Structure 1
Amino acid sequence: MIARPGQTGWQTILADLALILFMICASALSVAEGPAPAAVKAQAAPLRAPPPPPPHPVAPSQQAEPVGVWRDGPGAPPLAQWLADQAADPRLRLSIVVRYGARSANPHSAREAALEQAARLARTAGPRAGSARVVVEPGAQPGASVALGYDEESL
């Protein structure tokens, strides 16, 4: 764009109008009766102490790629047998995931049944379930799976 002397663009006119509007508002606020807006906010919300920090840092649990996966279904071996066939490495962590149909007729009873199934799988896992991660969540496909992986232990 070529600027010619004596011509101003619409941007300059808009900036001038914005500056005039700011000065009018500032003038009106300076002569207004009553408390200043900052004082009104201070009266409305008293100062509170910040909440204490959590005892441990909150972070998602570390979950590695599974070494082995067992799924509940026809033709699957019993969980105890499958676990006996897996390596007995103490670094392997068991993850039990049970999903229930969130859109079922009675989601509360579906969730309760999923909790029972997760507890039953944990009992079947025996001593390996001592440090197991157990997750019960709604899902599109109800079912259970158990995974072994080198997951980092949480605090």
Structure 2
Amino acid sequence: MTLSAAHPRGGHGWQLILADLALILFLLALSALPAAEAESGRRLADTEARERDALGMLHAEVAPAQALFRPIPGGPSLGAWLAAQGPDPRATLTIFAVHTRGSEAAAWRRARALAAEARASGVAVRAIITAGMHEEVYASLAYDAVIAEVAS
């Protein structure tokens, strides 16, 4: 048995080194991503906080729904439903109106009608109107936390 038979020459040495270097470069780039994303997120949050501070604004965080209202034929009106929930000054009613292309005005009218009914009940109201695959209007009653940004 000769040395060449035990170790065939294939010329794979430089290819393995190149593959190792490529893998090392990939792992280094991958490990740097979370730090870069965190830094860009901090810069964006700092910019938004400065803008809010400059305007003297507060923003609300949309909390998970405590109760959900969907208008159905023969069901209670929004005003009757809100009365059954019990008055709470901490609660905010968010009206969600989802519309398809071309039905933006109709979604706005439905959301505005529900908002007027809710305001008559004395509840804080906001409306969120978005595009979607189907039309839908519903309301979410939640205890949103108002967050005041503190300048640092």
TM-score class, shorter-chain normalisation, is 0.5 to 0.7
* Match among 92, 101, 107 for residue 114 of structure 1: 107
Tell me the CA shift for residue 74 of structure 1. 0.8
Question: Which residue does 1:78 correspond to in 2?
Answer: 77
Task: Work out whether 1:56 is the aligned partner of 2:52.
Answer: yes
Deviation at 1:84, TM superposition (A): 1.4
Structure-2 separation of matches of 1:63 and 1:125: 18
| Count of aligned positions | 111
Partner Cα separation in structure 2 for residue 118 and residue 96 of structure 1: 6
Q: Cα distance 1:9–1:116, how it changes in 2: closer, same or farther (>3 A)?
A: same
Is the Cα contact below 8 Å between 1:67 and 1:148 reproduced in 2? Answer: yes
Q: TM-score w.r.t. structure 2 length?
A: 0.56
Contact 2:92-2:144 at 8 Å conserved across structures: yes
Calculate percent identity across the aligned residue pairs: 25
> Which residue number in structure 1 is paired with residue 137 of structure 2?
144
Unaligned runs of 5+ in 1: 19-50
Determine the C-alpha separation between the residues in 2 that align with 1:82 and 1:96. Answer: 14
Q: Partner of 2:32 in structure 1? A: none
Q: CA deviation at 1:125?
A: 0.6
Deviations 1:40-77 (A, max 9, x none): xxxxxxxxxxx9923139x993422x222111221221
CA distance 1:53–1:6, change in 2 (3 Å): same
**Displacement of 1:96 after TM fit?**
0.5
Tell me which amino acid in the other structure corresponds to 1:87. Answer: G
Shift of 1:118: 1.1
2:81 corresponds to 1:88: no
Task: Describe the SS at the equivalent of 2:129.
Answer: strand
Q: In 2 relative to 1, CA 154–124 (structure 1 residues): closer, same or farther, beyond 3 Å? A: farther
Unaligned runs of 5+ in 2: 19-43, 54-58
With normalisation by structure 1, the TM-score equals: 0.56
Give the CA deviation at 1:153.
2.5
Is the Cα–Cα contact under 8 Å of residues 72 and 143 in structure 1 kept in the other structure?
no
State the alpha-carbon separation in 2 of the partners of residues 74 and 112 from structure 1.
22
Contact (CA 8 Å) 1:95, 1:133: kept in 2 or not?
yes
Flag the 1:154–1:143 CA change in 2: closer, same or farther, 3 A: farther
Summarize the Cα distance change of 1:60–1:125 in structure 2 as closer, same or farther, 3 Å threshold.
closer
